[in-house]
Structure 1
Amino acid sequence: MNTLEKFRELGISENILTSIKKKGFEAPSPIQAKIIPEIFNSTDDLIGQAQTGTGKTAAFGIPIIQLLSEERNKVKALILTPTRELCLQVAEELNTLKGKKKTKIIPVYGGQSIDLQIRRLQEGVDIVVGTPGRIIDHLKRKTLNLSHIEFLVLDEADEMLNMGFIEDIEYILKNTNSTKRTLLFSATMPKEIKQIAQKYMKNQRVVAVENKTLTTDLTDQIYFEVNEDDKFEALCRIRDIVPDFYGIVFCRTKVDVDNVANKLIDRGYSAEALHGDISQYQRERILKKFKNKQINILVATDVAARGIDISDLTHVINYSLPQDPESYVHRIGRTGRAGKEGTAITFVTPDEYRRLVYIMRIAKAKIKKGDLPKVEDIIETKKAKIIEEIKATAETVDYEKNRHIDELSKELLGQLTPEQIVKALLSMNYGDEFDESSYSEIRDTKSVNRKGKARLFVSMGKENNATPKSLADFIYEKTGVEQRLLREIKVFDKFSFVTVPYEEAEVILTYFKKNKRGKRPMVEIAKEKKN
């Protein structure tokens, strides 16, 4: 069966099938196979129960793009997401699926200029992908009208619940028309989500797919905390500390892939770029070179790397943090094939740490923090490799078959000392390898106060039936910070105190700062006592 035939059987148009082919999809995921026909063939509201990374964006995006009316100057679909990162990801994914259809899709989120968003909305938009807070800002300014939408999607509803957005969601729902179709996607179905569905969805039906187990057993996993501007230097150091490096470097965008690959080539590394703009002929040529180890670094996007089946990679490097836990598992799984262990390295900027914790928690991944190689260690590694190469050559070359080498060596020994000859040959062949100035300084991402501990105030106490254990469990469940890192837990009648390392404190505070927007966060830095 043609690889697109299974998608065609779902009722997808030829225009979108062309986009699917370009993206490299081979067959519908379970949630796509169940949801797409339901949206096409019924008018019911739907609840899709599926975990992150199962292809649900395409599951709702494909039929929505295909079914939207051609009427201009009205927002026809709203997709709510809990985070800015997911908002951008969903908008980007929908734009790659629409093909030649002139559907205008924009992301709307906090942190971007609201004036820019207003101008784009005034120009006419078909699909808005947004975070709850910024959508409410536009509703209150009357710069967004949701009274004519055909579809409303609540993506990762349980995560929006965890982040305290339920009241915001209800406010948004009250500002929409009653004729729309509502599609709700959630990995879990807590009672608050069920209440939203019961209250605001009509004739709702649940479409569930079995959760897949995410496994990362065969891979040694390390993360390095680096500033964005230092990622390339960190990549070069990792490459140079591993004599037989053979791996894939994952970037988020095509532009990043080209930039990283070109910079590697400029530095003398054997690398190639692979992304969606590469022709099929070029793709096959590059993969052949990579499989034959004519190049040892492949820089790629997630989509372009689909279908690459190579079992002996030493490394996968997440130059850009994956969007979700399943993408992380798919990436790093390439090093653990055929029973061989590999190393997965992830670069994390300080403000991405919370998302790394989320990936670790969902994927049950044990990612340990590492220290980037020092320049002196890289030099020593290079020396050891050169010695091995020279010894191997000395033991295997048949000098009798090459009398000119034999004659030349004797002539040189008659004119120079052995030490002079060795130094000269090493300088001619390896002089640049030992140039420490070719490595740039990597700045420390830690501020001074992150090395210590933080005392946190929690507005939950004995009156809420809190105990030290239940409080530790609660914080772990919400943020992924392990209970063993929570120390000196003191529970009083109406509040509690917890001491944690600064790094984990940032994760906890970031989470609860977004919880219950407009109200005092449940967790804050404890105020110092005044003498």
Structure 2
Amino acid sequence: MNADEAAPGFADLGLGPELLGVLTDLGYEEPTPIQREAIPPLLAGRDLLGQAATGTGKTAAFALPVLERMHADGGDPDALVLVPTRELAVQVSQAFHRYGRELGVRVLPIYGGQPIGRQLQVLRRGVDVVVATPGRALDHIDRGSLRLEGVATVVLDEADEMLDMGFAEDIEAILARTREDRQTMLFSATMPARLDRIARRQLRDPVRIELGREAAAAEETPLVRQAAYVVARAHKPDALARLLDVESPEAAIVFCRTRAEVEQLTETLAGRGHRAEALHGGMSQDQRDRVMKRVRGGGADLLVATDVAARGLDIEHLTHVVNYDVPSAPEAYVHRIGRVGRAGREGVAITLTEPREHRMIKAIERLTKRRIPVEQVPTVTDLRARRLEITQSALRDALVAGGSDRFRVVVEALADEYDLMDVALAAVKLAHEATGGDADEREIPAVAGPGGRGPRRDDDRGRSGADGGETTRVFVNLGRAAGVRPQDLVGAIAGESRLSGRDIGAIEIADRFSLVEVPESSADEVIEALRQTTIKGRRPGARRERYPARRG
């Protein structure tokens, strides 16, 4: 059987026999939608702008055309692939090695955290494809060790994440040093306005493909059970721990927005007995490798990570994805939950949402065309029932496994004094308590769901704020002396944060400072937003008020 007969789907795309043979050996039968749409125009030399989420096969969509069109001359690289993280650099490099093995392709990943001496040696010997993070690529370019004169193809993979990490200027600087007639491919899970502007400047009449994102939403989300839980920020750690206790995931990724949140939440979960590991961009490569080894080897069942740090990771036994915060872009939500529910396996996507984040939930529902059910955080009664189920399951497994005969003498002795049912109850009680079954728990107050959905309990009475949540006051070091008016503060906050004017409470303006009442859950965001803007031509300082906000 020849390669064309073995891989008819790929043969129709115009790939050569060497690549078709490799794809056959790897068990590839039919191209994914993005591969079917992207490979022919890329083989024809067209630029491409692809919106594609994880799990759509986009790496092969750009790697196969790059390899097919490669003109290796033994010297400078023919292709440059820019990626946001070390993990993705390694993953993409491995893919190029896998697909290009019959072509003798030489691939080098270069990224920070790896000795630069080895990278310099390999670059001097000559490579065909360089897969790099932008910062390290620019470092080599400035050293003269990475020459771009021969680069005919540039790929920007996970471009939105590279922008979020602050690589926009590095990317522009790298592209400015490549040939004007290069072929450029840009792949991204989301397409923010800033990225679209870069694409317009750097790509020439590109083929646009957006089916990768739609395919991910349509094909993957039906296998994912989705649920949102509305929780005030102060109760989110307890709510997450409660949900994890009830769900008992085989393996889960918990997504957080910041490194600090990752570290704090990991410590909190570990303190409650969960085998949690942190992963974020501030860790060394050795630290990250050790974490992933523990997760993949079963030494940890929870990975608490930022979006950027988790890019390129593939955990085969992943069962749950948890959004500790609602993703700011709806596409990012699809991107995250696409990690579970693959290959016919069911998965679970849990989102902890604060009361004022209902607009973001609505935007996700519009994109996925599926309603996200708003559920109630399990009560203490629910948790106790679940723990009893776990104890019962463990006892059933012990009965099936056998090997308990050496305890028979204890049961027979006790049966002479007590009823056999009472003996069994005492044994179950001891087994249950040994696993922390009677640990003290606090009820987690319920709040109204997005757009008013979901129940509200009586213990929410007396809370201030339009949504029943806590509020706090932000101190701003500008007041009447600077000409500041209430509308100036409202405009600055609403223009730079996710809050609207309706979300902002009482404003007090003194001669040299102002106090603004905002939701407690959004205070840090408001402070950061104020520090990044100007009011009356001045950049204000902002912090939380040093004294508790007055309650109405």
Q: Which residue of the partner structure matches residue 494 of structure 2?
A: 472
Determine which of 170, 173, 188 is the counterpart of 2:172: 170
Q: Is the 8 A contact 1:78 1:127 kept in 2?
A: yes
1:207 aligned onto 2:213 = no
Determine which of 241, 259, 274 is the counterpart of 2:297: 259
Gaps in structure 1 of 5+ consecutive residues: 225-229, 265-300, 306-314, 348-355, 391-410, 442-450, 516-521
RMSD of Structure 2 on Structure 1 (CA): 6.3
Q: Is the 8 A contact 1:36 1:62 kept in 2?
A: yes
Q: Is the 8 A contact 1:223 1:370 kept in 2?
A: yes
Post-superposition shift, 1:201? 4.5
Q: Which residue of the partner structure matches residue 526 of structure 1?
A: 542
Compared CA separation, residues 166 and 512, structure 1 to 2 (3 A): farther
Equivalent position SS for 2:186 = strand
Post-superposition shift, 1:529? 11
What pairs up with 1:110-509 in 2 under 5 angstroms?
A: 112-113=112-113, 116-124=115-123, 125-157=127-159, 165-185=167-187, 196=198, 200-202=202-204, 204-210=205-211, 212=214, 214=217, 219-221=226-228, 241=246, 249=251, 255-256=293-294, 258-260=296-298, 316-318=319-321, 325-331=333-339, 343-345=348-350, 381-383=386-388, 415-418=416-419, 421-426=420-425, 431-436=430-435, 468=490, 472=494, 475-476=497-498
Q: Report how many aligned residue pairs link the two structures.
A: 406
Q: Is the 8 A contact 1:325 1:360 kept in 2?
A: no
Equivalent position SS for 1:98 = helix
Q: d(CA) in 2 for partners of 1:9 and 1:123?
A: 36
Post-superposition shift, 1:506? 6.4
Post-superposition shift, 1:455? 6.3
TM-score, structure 2 as length reference: 0.52
Q: Which residue of the partner structure matches residue 79 of structure 2?
A: 77
Determine which of 10, 30, 35 is the counterpart of 1:32: 35
Post-superposition shift, 1:182? 1.9
Cα deviation code 1:413-444 (max 9, x no counterpart): 994332xx234334556743430469999xxx
Q: Is the 8 A contact 1:79 1:128 kept in 2?
A: yes
Q: Is the 8 A contact 1:24 1:304 kept in 2?
A: no
TM-score, structure 1 as length reference: 0.54
Equivalent position SS for 2:13 = coil
Q: d(CA) in 1 for partners of 2:438 and 2:147?
A: 54
Q: Is the 8 A contact 1:76 1:151 kept in 2?
A: yes
Q: d(CA) in 2 for partners of 1:320 and 1:74?
A: 43
Q: d(CA) in 2 for partners of 1:13 and 1:490?
A: 71
Cα deviation code 1:149-197 (max 9, x no counterpart): 1211233556656766544333222222345322234567777666655
Post-superposition shift, 1:509? 8.9
Q: Is the 8 A contact 1:468 1:490 kept in 2?
A: no
Post-superposition shift, 1:35? 1.6
User: Identical aligned pairs, as a percentage?
Assistant: 25
Q: d(CA) in 2 for partners of 1:56 and 1:363?
A: 20
Post-superposition shift, 1:106? 0.8
Determine which of 34, 37, 56 is the counterpart of 2:58: 56
Gaps in structure 2 of 5+ consecutive residues: 232-236, 254-278, 280-290, 302-312, 353-360, 396-411, 441-470, 547-552
Q: Which residue of the partner structure matches residue 281 of structure 1?
A: none
Q: Which residue of the partner structure matches residue 93 of structure 1?
A: 92
Q: Which residue of the partner structure matches residue 10 of structure 1?
A: 13
Q: d(CA) in 2 for partners of 1:77 and 1:142?
A: 17
Q: Is the 8 A contact 1:456 1:524 kept in 2?
A: yes
Q: d(CA) in 2 for partners of 1:466 and 1:77?
A: 50
Compared CA separation, residues 430 and 345, structure 1 to 2 (3 A): farther
- Give the letter aligned to residue 10 of structure 1: L
Q: d(CA) in 1 for partners of 2:433 and 2:45?
A: 68
Cα deviation code 1:51-88 (max 9, x no counterpart): 4334333211222234333334523322234x43xx63
Q: Is the 8 A contact 2:42 2:48 kept in 1?
A: no
